[in-house]
Structure 1
Amino acid sequence: MPVLFFSNSGLHGELLFSLISNSLPSNWEKSEIGKQRHCLQHYQAIVIDCWQIAMNSESNQFFSYLKNLNHPKTLLINFPSDISSHMAEKLKRKNFHLLCDATTNQENLIKKLGAAIQSADSALIEDLKNGLLLTKREQEILHQLTSGEPNSVIATRLHLSEHTVKNHMYNIFRKIGVRNRLQASNWAKLHLQAERI
């Protein structure tokens, strides 16, 4: 799976992307901040260059944009070193990883980013193993869950009782480490391959 690099348009973003993509052995794609918000689940990790926040008075607009991003592995680099602890906590609760602030040198940024992406690889492998632990029926139910239908509709489609579907859902949530239907659906979209279902 590729890694997506978000930055503002301009020379800084282009140079940083070139440095990172040439230094780290991943499949990289680049997009401007605010341009791509769909299909994020198809990326192994999202790297966001926050450098322009320190230079820009529109930081509230940028943080509002971040609140709308939803990906399990979002890495923030070059964020302002004076970011408030309140804002940092809000970002961490949204599953953002504050990796390197704007004072980090390029060598350390590359090292930290490489380690974080490698841990994303490890998490992806673990998720795939968890997916393989699902029974064929659990995979079918999880696939049906991605349609957004309630348990009663899923039960009818698969010729099961609603109670059986509910029990399977409980086991699926436990196996893949999620807490609700939305997280399970997102997990399925990321990790279940059509040929396994």
Structure 2
Amino acid sequence: MSGKISAYDAHGDQRKVRMKRRIFSELGGFVVYEPALLARYLDEHGLASGDVLAYFTQTEHGGAVTEEGIAVPISGVRSDYYDFAVTVGEASEEIFAQNEAKIISRGWVFHSSGTLKIAGIGYFKDMSCISEQNSLSFRVKRGRYRLEILGGYRGTNFSGAPTPLGDTSILSDTPVFHLRLTPSAEPKFSGDLETSFYF
């Protein structure tokens, strides 16, 4: 199952991106990242091999890649499988009804060169273990974005649309993260790196 959903319509306009299959919160969290930009950063700083998680948690590199919008941690997450949705645009689709989100974290930045990828944070100890089976990939138009991270439970498919082949419908007890992206020429980072996304 490829699990890839385009973020563009036939005219090249950016549109909403729907729910993807669930992945596990390895070591109690996830990383939302731009694979090409992250690979370049790691290569430029001589970090391309070894335990990338240690580099990011024990040096200034973690803060640098987060503030630049290359990699955003979602930590303090309970051990479980999570569904993810990514929406793009000023008036992007709301995944949670009013007061339904258990977690809302603002002030994050995402810099896309075409892809948004999500993997369990534990895989950053050895990134060669990241595969299509244990990660998610979304096409997102090149550019810079403000990123809001919402978490909670959702009892129906996002948008109420039929579940696409290969995707999974969301059950009422399935935890969900909604990554809401808003294009911005110069997004300002103000995310709290100490945020716990436990709910």
Both proteins in one fold, TM over 0.5: no
Larger helix proportion, structure 1 or 2?
Answer: 1
Which structure is higher in strand share?
Answer: 2
Give the structure-2-normalised TM-score: 0.21
Larger Rg over CA atoms: 1
Higher relative contact order (CA 8 A, sep 6+): 2
Normalising by structure 1, report the TM-score.
0.21
